Amino acid sequence: MATGSKGIGQLLETEPQLAEAYAILDKLHANLNAASRSKDMQAIDEVVKRLVQYGRLCEDIRPSWTVKERKSELHRTCTEAL
Protein backbone atom coordinates (compact mmCIF):
# COMPACT_ATOMS: atom_id res chain seq x y z
CA MET A 1 0.00 0.00 0.00
CA ALA A 2 1.58 3.27 -1.12
CA THR A 3 1.18 6.20 1.21
CA GLY A 4 2.22 8.83 -1.29
CA SER A 5 3.42 12.34 -0.77
CA LYS A 6 0.08 13.38 0.71
CA GLY A 7 0.48 10.93 3.61
CA ILE A 8 4.01 12.11 4.27
CA GLY A 9 2.85 15.72 4.17
CA GLN A 10 0.08 14.99 6.67
CA LEU A 11 2.54 13.26 8.96
CA LEU A 12 4.94 16.20 8.77
CA GLU A 13 2.06 18.60 9.55
CA THR A 14 1.02 16.51 12.55
CA GLU A 15 4.38 16.52 14.31
CA PRO A 16 4.54 20.27 15.07
CA GLN A 17 0.88 20.23 16.11
CA LEU A 18 1.64 17.49 18.64
CA ALA A 19 4.61 19.50 19.90
CA GLU A 20 2.44 22.61 20.27
CA ALA A 21 -0.26 20.70 22.15
CA TYR A 22 2.42 19.21 24.40
CA ALA A 23 3.84 22.66 25.19
CA ILE A 24 0.39 24.03 26.08
CA LEU A 25 -0.44 21.07 28.29
CA ASP A 26 2.97 21.22 29.95
CA LYS A 27 2.30 24.84 30.96
CA LEU A 28 -1.16 23.89 32.20
CA HIS A 29 0.38 21.05 34.19
CA ALA A 30 2.80 23.48 35.85
CA ASN A 31 -0.05 25.86 36.70
CA LEU A 32 -2.12 23.03 38.19
CA ASN A 33 0.88 21.87 40.18
CA ALA A 34 1.41 25.38 41.54
CA ALA A 35 -2.27 25.53 42.49
CA SER A 36 -2.04 22.13 44.24
CA ARG A 37 -4.68 20.62 41.95
CA SER A 38 -3.28 17.10 41.97
CA LYS A 39 -6.31 15.31 40.46
CA ASP A 40 -6.47 17.74 37.55
CA MET A 41 -2.71 17.51 37.19
CA GLN A 42 -2.92 13.69 36.99
CA ALA A 43 -5.55 13.94 34.25
CA ILE A 44 -3.30 16.26 32.25
CA ASP A 45 -0.41 13.83 32.83
CA GLU A 46 -2.37 11.10 31.05
CA VAL A 47 -2.95 13.32 28.03
CA VAL A 48 0.70 14.39 27.95
CA LYS A 49 1.82 10.75 28.07
CA ARG A 50 -0.38 9.96 25.07
CA LEU A 51 0.94 12.94 23.13
CA VAL A 52 4.47 11.74 23.79
CA GLN A 53 3.49 8.29 22.49
CA TYR A 54 1.95 9.81 19.35
CA GLY A 55 5.06 11.90 18.82
CA ARG A 56 7.25 8.80 19.06
CA LEU A 57 4.93 6.99 16.67
CA CYS A 58 5.37 9.81 14.14
CA GLU A 59 9.13 9.59 14.58
CA ASP A 60 9.00 5.84 13.96
CA ILE A 61 6.69 6.07 10.94
CA ARG A 62 8.38 8.96 9.13
CA PRO A 63 11.57 7.12 8.08
CA SER A 64 9.71 4.10 6.76
CA TRP A 65 7.31 6.28 4.74
CA THR A 66 10.05 8.40 3.24
CA VAL A 67 12.10 5.31 2.32
CA LYS A 68 9.06 3.71 0.67
CA GLU A 69 8.30 6.95 -1.17
CA ARG A 70 11.89 7.21 -2.44
CA LYS A 71 11.83 3.57 -3.60
CA SER A 72 8.51 4.16 -5.32
CA GLU A 73 9.87 7.25 -7.11
CA LEU A 74 13.01 5.35 -8.13
CA HIS A 75 10.87 2.49 -9.46
CA ARG A 76 8.72 4.92 -11.47
CA THR A 77 11.82 6.62 -12.87
CA CYS A 78 13.39 3.31 -13.87
CA THR A 79 10.14 2.02 -15.40
CA GLU A 80 9.68 5.22 -17.41
CA ALA A 81 13.29 5.01 -18.64
CA LEU A 82 12.65 1.56 -20.08
Could you tell me the residue ranges of all domains in the chain?
15-81
Predicted confidence at residue 57, as pLDDT, reads 85
Q: Are 42 and 26 in contact (CB under 8 A)?
A: no
The model's pTM is 0.61
With a cut of 50, which residues of the chain have pLDDT below it?
1-3
Predicted confidence at residue 71, as pLDDT, reads 61
> Considering the chain, what is the average pLDDT of its residues?
79
Predicted confidence at residue 37, as pLDDT, reads 92
Predicted confidence at residue 9, as pLDDT, reads 79
Residues 6 or more apart whose Cβ sits within 8 Å of residue 63? none
Chain centroid, CA 69 distance in Å: 18
